[in-house]
Structure 1
């Protein structure tokens, strides 16, 4: 699964990226995940499965979805509590559930 986490500068999500990688390794799930600034998203849209938006930039959700949806990738805002507590396992599960959804 290829995932991009989007925040304002790509910094606050870097810890979450590492925690998601640890959770994926524990669950034996293939995960290619990185954090990017919203301004760099357009350059990172190729071959993605999921884009998760940091809650601090949820106001950008509509414009991000407009960029992401034509690629076929799924997009959602990261659960605020999971983000705040840097719960990589829960955010990984959010991404997996998003991938499994058919909407």
Structure 2
């Protein structure tokens, strides 16, 4: 599963991505080989969208959802918008749960 984290510049999102990787690494249920993570600025989304399984949107660009949706909707890519509290805590576990739920819902609606 390719998870793309999208924010304004890609810097703080890299820290969240590292925490998400650690959650997967430490998990007894999840296999690291099943996951690929990438943190990008929103401006590069067009280049990454084709093989993305779930898009994680940082709170600092939540207002850009009207820009993002036309890019991801043709590919039927589920997305989650991380709230500022979860993001501020760099809570990788909560974001991974959000990602897995979004992916499962998307798969059920196919």
TM range, smaller chain: over 0.9
Unpaired runs of at least 5, structure 1: none
Cα deviation for residue 92 of structure 1 reads 0.7
Cα deviation for residue 12 of structure 1 reads 1.2
- Between the aligned partners of 2:92 and 2:85, the Cα distance in structure 1 is 11
Preserved contact between residue 61 and residue 77 of structure 1 (Cα < 8 Å): no
Cα deviation for residue 55 of structure 1 reads 0.3
TM-score (ref. length: structure 2): 0.87
Residue number in structure 2 paired with 1:78 = 82
Task: Choose the corresponding residue for 2:51, options 28, 32, 47.
Answer: 47
TM-score (ref. length: structure 1): 0.92
Preserved contact between residue 3 and residue 50 of structure 1 (Cα < 8 Å): yes
Q: CA RMSD in A?
A: 1.3
Larger Cα-atom Rg: 2
| Residue-by-residue CA offset, 1:3-62 (whole Å, 9 max, x unaligned) | 101101111101001000010122224221111001111001121110011001110012
Residue number in structure 2 paired with 1:32 = 36
**Structure with the higher fraction of residues in helix conformation:** 2
- Between the aligned partners of 2:24 and 2:76, the Cα distance in structure 1 is 23
Number of residue pairs the alignment of both structures matches: 103
Cα deviation for residue 79 of structure 1 reads 2.9
Cα deviation for residue 80 of structure 1 reads 2.4
